[in-house]
Amino acid sequence: MSNPRHFLTMDELTYDEQRHVLALAKKVKRDPAAYRSALTGKTLGMIFQKKSTRTRVSFEVGMYQLGGHALFLSGNDIQIGRGETIADTSRVLSRYVDLLMARVYGHDDVEELARYSSVPVINGLSDLHHPCQVLADLQTIEERFGRLEGLHLAYVGDGNNMAHSLLLGCARAGMSVSVATARGYECNPEIVTRAKAHAAAYGQVVRTVYSPAEAVEGADAVYTDVWASMGQEEEQEKRVKAFQGFEVNAALMARANENAIFLHCLPAHRGEEVSAEVCDGPQSAIFDEAENRLHAQKALMLFVMGAA
């Protein structure tokens, strides 16, 4: 493939392409048997610098269900970034596999993989973006409300990779987004600016505030993430203090719309960023959301491979 179609951020899908992938995810979920030979004979190389539950299992199972094979490549087992440059690793793996997915620390790493790869590269997670998760989030929201356009998502917590991808993906889908972070933990300003431009094109708004209550007011979906992501464990105590008052609990959810849903990319720390009564309550859609990682990523792999 001379010009591979990479997927590193939510910004890389136009509105029509995002709609296509989500529609395909719906079809794949409804009738998985119809796609079980779509990628027969194809191999997915999965590079993991970070540990994973949902990303590894959903991609591996998804590739198998599409008729292909997935190869797990731990950062401890291959030479990437140690005895071999990322560029050389990318060039070599491109000769062996048909598709690459990487879950890395630095976003620069996945960008470099894509730069030198002759096959599509999917960002399974980086410190700046988590786009595959947002495809599943959008699928979940649309399942619950029957649409995306005109809805309001509120994100409460650290201005991290999850917040960045939600800003870009939801705004591109024609949704309004409100993000509440603690001071000193704001989102990347360039990403916020891009998201505002996307939202404005559909008559929607993006707001960044420091008050969870203000962000959640009138929201259709309330989203949070852990306060200390993988690799930030030494900051846990500091972050717990910074995010006091940011727990998504029943009182905060009461400020959202009556039929609002709660979302979380998992793993969740009950008693920190979310209370158990919300995480395990009737408004929670977290396990539908987790399941949709499988369907959305199958659709994504079909899309970047030009198979559907």
> Is 133 assigned a catalytic role?
yes
Structure tokens at 232: 């930030």
Annotated active-site residue in 54, 103, 172, 264: 103
Annotated active-site residue in 152, 164, 194, 293: 293
Annotated active-site residue in 265, 279, 283, 295: 265
CA distances from 141 to 145, 151, 245, 263 (A): 6, 9, 26, 9
Closest CA to 6 of 303, 299, 296, 308: 303
> Is 225 assigned a catalytic role?
yes
> Is 6 assigned a catalytic role?
no
Annotated active-site residue in 130, 152, 198, 295: 130
Annotated active-site residue in 49, 158, 225, 297: 225
> Is 288 assigned a catalytic role?
no
Contact, 58 vs 266, CB < 8 A?
A: no
> Is 79 assigned a catalytic role?
no
Contact, 169 vs 132, CB < 8 A?
A: no
Closest CA to 9 of 117, 109, 126: 126
Helix (H, G, I), strand (E, B) or coil at 229: coil
Residue owning tokens 């620069």: 108
DSSP E strands in the chain: the ranges are 43-48, 69-74, 99-103, 121-125, 152-156, 176-180, 206-209, 221-224, 261-264
> Is 170 assigned a catalytic role?
no
Q: 69 forms bridges with which residues in the sheet?
A: 43
Annotated active-site residue in 18, 133, 139, 283: 133
List the catalytic residues.
103, 130, 133, 225, 265, 293
